Amino acid sequence: MEPAFDTILLAEAPVVTAPDGSSVKPLCALPGVASFAHFELVAGQVSQAVSHASVQEIWYVVAGGGQMWRASKAAEAITGLVPGLCLTIPLGTAFQFRAGLDGLRVVAVTVPPWPDDPGEARPARGPWKAGPGV
């Protein structure tokens, strides 16, 4: 049996709060392969620092700006986030992100799909204090 097509408009997607505190609209998924979502932080908001237990992500900044901190055994860096930037979060990487004055909007692919497991996002120690925006 062929799988059904997955189709959704961003405006019609449910809004959930990610474990890192960002506002997320889960979009399409290919079961067992990958999922796709839209993330948003309001101006000045800082996410919780986390690492993932079983998934990796590819992010693409669509609007706004900010900064992303990533740390692994091999490297640590803070990257400026601007529209058009694409970045990876490999498995086990600790990361934290914060929005600039215009907020931050990102779309991301999660491989494999985001699991229904409260232990997927593990707390990490990041460079910034997490909290609401201005």
- Give the number of other Cβ atoms within 10 Å of residue 125's Cβ: 8
Q: What is the pLDDT of residues 23-70, one digit of tens each?
A: 999 999 999 999 999 999 999 999 999 999 999 999 999 999 999 999
Q: Would you state the structure tokens that stand for residue 80, as one six-digit string?
A: 């400026």
Distance from C-alpha of 13 to C-alpha of 9, rounded to nearest angstrom: 6
Q: Which residue has the tokens 């086990």?
A: 92
Domains along the chain with CATH numbers: 26-120 (2.60.120.10)
Can you give the pTM of this predicted structure? 0.94
High-pLDDT (> 70) share of the chain, %: 97
Distance from C-alpha of 34 to C-alpha of 50, rounded to nearest angstrom: 20
Beta bridge partners of 16: 24
